[in-house]
Amino acid sequence: MIKQFIFFTMFFISLFFINTYAQEVNIVLKNSKVIVGRIVEEKPDYLLMDYELGQLKIDRQNIESITYNPFIKLDATQNEDSLNSNSEKGYKFVINDPVVVYLKNGNVVSGLLLAKSLSMIMLQTDSGNLTIPKNELSKIEYISSEYAERGELVIAYLTNGKRFEGNIYFEDSENLTLDTEVGRLTVPKNNLRTIEYTGKTGISESSLSDQYSDLTMNKRYILPHYDIIEVSYNSKFGTNYGSGFGIGYQSRFNLSQLEGMNISAVGGLSLNYFGLNTDNIVNSSQSISADLKGGAFITTIGVGGQLNIYPQTSSFYDFYVSPILESHIIYKLFEQTYPSFPQFNTKETSTDFKFGLGTRFGVEFLFDSFKLGLQYNMHTIFSSDGYNQISITLVNNLF
> Between 286 and 158, where is the model more confident?
158
Q: What tens digit of pLDDT does each residue of 338-382 get? A: 777 777 778 888 999 999 999 999 999 988 678 899 999 999 999
CATH topology classification for 18-92: SH3 type barrels. (2.30.30)
> Between 73 and 159, where is the model more confident?
159
* Contact of 317 with 310, CB cutoff 8 Å: yes
How far are the Cα atoms of 23, 43, 44, 45, 273 from residue 58, in angstroms, in the given order? 16, 10, 11, 9, 90
Domain 151-215, CATH class in plain words: mainly beta
- CATH 2.30.30.100 in the chain: give the residue spans: 18-92, 95-142, 151-215
pTM of the model: 0.47
Q: What is the CA radius of gyration of the chain?
A: 39
If phi > 0 it is left, if psi is from -120 to 50 it is alpha, else beta; for residue 339 that is alpha
φ/ψ of residue 83, rounded to 5: -65, -40
Q: What tens digit of pLDDT does each residue of 204-241 get? A: 444 444 444 444 445 566 778 899 999 999 988 888 88
Nearest to 94 by CA among 31, 33, 25: 33
- What span, in angstroms and rounded, lies between the C-alpha atoms of 274 and 240? 10
- What span, in angstroms and rounded, lies between the C-alpha atoms of 332 and 349? 5
How far are the Cα atoms of 65, 234, 317, 318 from residue 363, in angstroms, in the given order? 66, 19, 7, 5
- CATH 2.40.160.20 in the chain: give the residue spans: 225-396
Q: Which residues pair with 319 in a beta bridge?
A: 309, 363
Residue 393's pLDDT band, with cuts at 50, 70 and 90, is very high
Position 211 scores a pLDDT of 43
Position 11 scores a pLDDT of 43
Residue 250 has pLDDT above 80, yes or no: yes
> Between 117 and 40, where is the model more confident?
40
- What span, in angstroms and rounded, lies between the C-alpha atoms of 220 and 354? 38
Nearest to 189 by CA among 253, 142, 138, 146: 146
CATH of 95-142 among 2.115.10.20, 1.10.238.10, 2.40.50.140, 2.30.30.100: 2.30.30.100
Position 308 scores a pLDDT of 92
* CA angle, 170 then 173 then 175, to 5°: 50
Q: Which of 94-98, 136-140, 292-296, 325-329 has the highest mean pLDDT?
A: 325-329
Position 65 scores a pLDDT of 76
- Residues in Cβ contact with 143 at an 8 Å cutoff, skipping those fewer than 6 apart: 98, 99, 100, 170, 171, 172
- In this structure, whether the domain defined by 225-396 belongs to CATH 2.40.160.20 is answered with yes
* Contact of 267 with 322, CB cutoff 8 Å: no
- What span, in angstroms and rounded, lies between the C-alpha atoms of 271 and 247? 6
Least confident of 69-78, 179-188, 350-359: 69-78
Residue 36 has pLDDT above 90, yes or no: no
Cα first-last separation, the chain: 95
Residue 76 has pLDDT above 80, yes or no: no
